[in-house]
A and B are shown apart, each in its own frame.
Chain A
């Protein structure tokens, strides 16, 4: 068993909390994990990515090889496309469609969506809207994690436990909202894959 995931977004969007959710679940399940993060200059509103590798055997490289990622999980539509050279032939792109526009030449959203639709295996969802519906607009990252969950080789219950661990300090209410967000994201992918 092995899942290689590229997490993509913009500095400040919180992709590291998604990575932490998966990481905690993987460690609990007794799997090996390597997760390369971006710290420093790019965190100031630049493009950021994290390479997350989970396996039942020891993992060599901290970076996912080009053309080998099983999944690109992007919290921003243009950012997911930036890492297409990493996606394997039968890999999935799971992306939020709400743009994060902090540059002068940000493209038309329709042009981005056209490119996303060209990817044979893709799930595109409005995570911000689904999060709002689930009770907290701040949970869009967890919606994305839920949407990606069918493509991650970890039991869903373990991911739920990861969320409990991640948000446990913030109280039961926050945990529940995030679990709801996680399940809503998963449901979307199961219906639309």
Chain B
């Protein structure tokens, strides 16, 4: 079979489809989005009847995947690193329930924060949940590891984390495929109470999880994904994982150093000891937090010298690259020409023709009389309202935090407080916060800037398309204080007046400026044109 040219994300999707997947669950988030998109576009997935609809948020995705596992089938759940925070409750408890059908949790970390608000390392979560991690370093491994992850999960009866970082997610290379495995049939857990986490049952399950740890370590030691290769340099040994391995091999030849490549966790004890005995010092190269480094160094750091992010051999934050690794190895390198002064920064910005622009222009005018510092925003394209020329918002913390932070600030006396949230973010995590605000009739004005899509990640469907007003009414917002607006220049004055009126109201108001995302609009028109051409 010919090799496919696939992004790391796409290789994971294809590996899952070929590995007997029955359903994928996800909420879009860079750099994980393309996994679900690939399965959605796959003819093979359609023929196999694989579930492939977006979920409302990462927690609902995780829980649906647990449900599919309960029913005996193989499920993949995908999100970006901060998405795991949203899903954490379900994720951690899934290691206590254990699995029935194989359950693989894909976390795409974003070191250097290309499109994120932090660079947390998902491997800590897997350690916390006491489950294995598979961490590929290239597209082929991404395919191979996903393909076999379901079996590992079923063998150990725990979820398996698959961890990648931005560069692998969004880098393309050739991938060879394996034979397509059949899906599992539906089959209930042999113990009907396996998934009932009453304390008495949970305690038993937890002991079982603890007792499985030794087998997890043995499987990691025996895994073909973990390799220890002997090198000529007896002084320095290198432990590496994930994409850091590529940057190492860009700089050295095979056999230069003894290298332990860790791709299946828990960290394989046998190989680490073997390498440690062979060398005088160790260098740890890993993308993300220094988790391997901390574990091997230990609190008292009494052994041989261990170099890495903690002693400054490698920068403490940010993603790695070949130059950083070369420096860590003490190699000289040509650093190229400097960037000329004439080059200016070019930050991302809201598109021309985007409705969020008109919302911010109106809001800035409406809120002026109360003074600045009272607009709490959220995660999405509209976060770009923090930049010039708008300088319109004062917060962006996590999905849904705009409404609840506005409420808390209003509780503290900052009245009026304003929340700005998108339609997809609102249904992801804003609705429960709105209920809190309604229950206390907090003096806040919530703007749900509805572009009818999940814009920032490339225009995935918005969960409650066309139903935002009904949801707000259902949650209990006074219909008198719900206004659908048209964020166009010609309605600017009218929109400012509505905002002013609701800012003055001492209760919950919801303003819903509605205009389809310009990018989604363009794609829709193009697709319609194409469809019309076919008929």
Contacts and interface: CB of A to CB of B under 8 A. Distances in A.
Q: Do A and B bind each other?
A: yes
Interface of A: 10-11, 23-24, 27, 32-47, 59-68, 78-79, 81-82, 84-89, 102-107, 111-112, 114-115, 118-119
B346 A102 contact: yes
A87 B34 contact: no
Given A10-B346, A40-B115, A44-B351, 15 more contacts: A27-B174, A32-B173, A36-B167, A42-B114, A44-B384, A45-B349, A60-B249, A62-B168, A63-B247, A66-B333, A78-B343, A81-B339, A81-B342, A82-B343, A107-B342
Interface stretch (B87-95, B290-298, B320-328): B320-328
Nearest to A64: B322
Contacts of B31: 39-40
A41 B31 CA distance: 10
B371 interface: no
B3 to A, nearest CB: 8
A44 B336 contact: no
Q: 8 tightest A-B contacts by CB?
A: A40-B30, A40-B115, A46-B348, A65-B322, A85-B336, A61-B250, A67-B334, A62-B171
A84 B341 CA distance: 12
A74 to B, nearest CB: 11
Contacts of B323: 65-66
A23 B347 CA distance: 28
B335 A66 contact: yes
Interface of B is mostly: loop
Interface of B: 3, 5, 7, 30-31, 33-34, 114-115, 138, 167-168, 170-174, 243, 246-251, 321-323, 326, 333-340, 342-351, 381, 384, 388-389, 456-458
B60 to A, nearest CB: 23
B173 A34 contact: yes
Contacts of A44: 348-351, 381, 384, 456
Given A33-B5, A40-B31, A41-B114, A47 B346 contact: yes
> For A112, A115, A118, which residue has the most chain B Cβ atoms within 10 angstroms?
A115
A43 B31 CA distance: 13
Contacts of A36: 167, 170-172
Contacts of A63: 167, 247, 321-322
B348 A86 contact: no
A117 to B, nearest CB: 11
A62 B348 CA distance: 24
A119 B339 CA distance: 12
A32 B246 contact: no
Contacts of A88: 334, 336
Contacts of B30: 39-41
B319 to A, nearest CB: 9
Given A44-B348, A65-B321, A66-B323, A38 B336 contact: no
A78 B322 contact: no
B416 to A, nearest CB: 30
B322 A66 contact: yes
A107 B344 contact: yes
Nearest to B169: A39
